[in-house]
Amino acid sequence: MREFEIIESIRTANAALGTTVVIPPGDDLGMIEIADGVSVLSGVDQLVGGVHLAADAPAEDHGRKVVNRSLSDVAAMAAVPVGFILSATLPRELMTNEGWAERFADAAREASSRFDAPVFGGDVATHGRTGGVFVASATVLAVPDPHAGGRVVLRGGAQVGDIVCVSGCFGGSLRPDGRGHHLDFLPRVEFALELHRTLGTRLHSMIDVSDGLAADAAHIGRESSVSVVLRAEDVPRRGSSTAVQALTDGEDYELCFTVSPDGSLPEALSGVPITPIGIIESGDGMRITDEGVALELERDGWEHSG
C-alpha cells in the first residue's frame, strides 16, 4: 500500500468517528473530549531495538529516546505534556541483564520529568527467549495550552502566502557509529509553546521532523491542500551535511511550521534559531529549488504528486 492510500483509508475510517473526537488520526497527536469542554491529546510512539537505534545501545538511550520522540509530537501541536504510560517487551538476555530494565525506566522517567510529565503507568513483558527484539512504546497525554487560548496547531492549517520556517538545523542526525543528535536531542516543547504564545493565530500549521524535512513538509502541504515551495540553500545544516542530506536524513526532531506573512518573525525563541526556508503557494505537491535551480530528490519518504 502506498502512503497516500494509507492516508485515504484513515480518512475514510475517520468519517465514522463520534463527535467527541476533536482531532482524528492523521496528525501528530489525536484529541478527544473527555468531559464538557475538556479535551486531552494523546499519541503513541514505538521504539524498536535495531531499527530506531542500535540494538546494543545503552539502556539509557532506549529510555530517553522513546519518551523524547513522543514529546516531539507534543511540541508539534504546541501542546503541554502531562504524563506518560510506558510499555516494553524485552528479550530474555535483557531481562536477565542486571539493572538493564531499571536503567531504561530511570532514563525514561528522567526525560519525562524534564517537562513535568510523569510516567504514571505501564507494563513490562518478555519474549521469554533469547535473541528477540526489544520494543518499547510511550503513550503520551497532553493538554491544549491555556496560555494560547486552548488552541492547538495542526498540520492542516497552512494558507497560501504563509512563510515556511524551521527550528534548529538538519541532516546528519545519525552518525556512522550509530550515535548522534537522534539520541540526545531536546524535544522542542518549550520552544513550541513560546512560538505559539508569541505568534498566536499567525502560527497556521506545524509538524515535527522525524521522517526527513522534505517528507514532513510535504505532509503539511497535503493536509492543508496547498503547495510547499522550499529553498534548499536556506535550510540550516548540521555539521558537514549536504543540502540533500538536510532535506532527507530525518530524525532531526525539529519543527517545521508555517506563519502568516503579516507581522514580524522572531529570529530565535527559547535559544532556538528560527529560519524561513520557503513559502506556501496554491496548488498541491512540493517544489524544491537550490539557488533557483529545481532540485529533484530521489530518496523514498515522500511522494511526488505532480
Binding site for Mg ion (CB under 5 A): 28, 73, 208
Smallest gap from residue 129 Cβ to Mg ion (A) = 33
- Residue (28 or 162) nearer to Mg ion, CB: 28
CA–CA distances in Å: residue 252 to residues 23, 135, 181, 234:
25, 21, 7, 16
- Cβ at position 22, least distance to Mg ion in Å: 18
Task: Work out how close the CB of 30 gets to Mg ion at its nearest, in angstroms, rounded to a whole number.
Answer: 12
> Quick one: 208 or 254, whose CB is closer to Mg ion?
208
CB-based closest residue to Mg ion:
28
Nearest-approach distance from CB 253 to Mg ion, in angstroms: 9
- List the one residue out of 204, 196, 300, 301 whose CA is nearest residue 258: 204
Distances (CA, A) of 78 to 28, 37, 42, 97, 228: 11, 19, 13, 39, 21
Local structure of residue 225 (DSSP, 8 states):
T
Which residue's CB is nearer to Mg ion, number 88 or number 220?
220
CA distances from 185 to 63, 66, 131, 189 (A): 13, 12, 29, 12
Q: 140 or 246, CB closer to Mg ion?
A: 140
b vs e for 80-111, b when ≥16 Cβ sit within 10 Å of the residue's Cβ?
bbbbbbbbbbbbeebbeeeebbebbbebbbeb
Q: Output 145 or 211, the one with its CB closest to Mg ion.
A: 211
| Alpha carbons within 13 A on the beta-carbon side of 73 | 24
CB of 76 to Mg ion, least distance (A): 5
User: Nearest distance from residue 209's CB to Mg ion, in Å?
Assistant: 8
Which residue's CB is nearer to Mg ion, number 45 or number 94? 45
- Of the candidates 8, 5, 33, the one whose C-alpha atom is nearest the C-alpha of residue 19 is 33
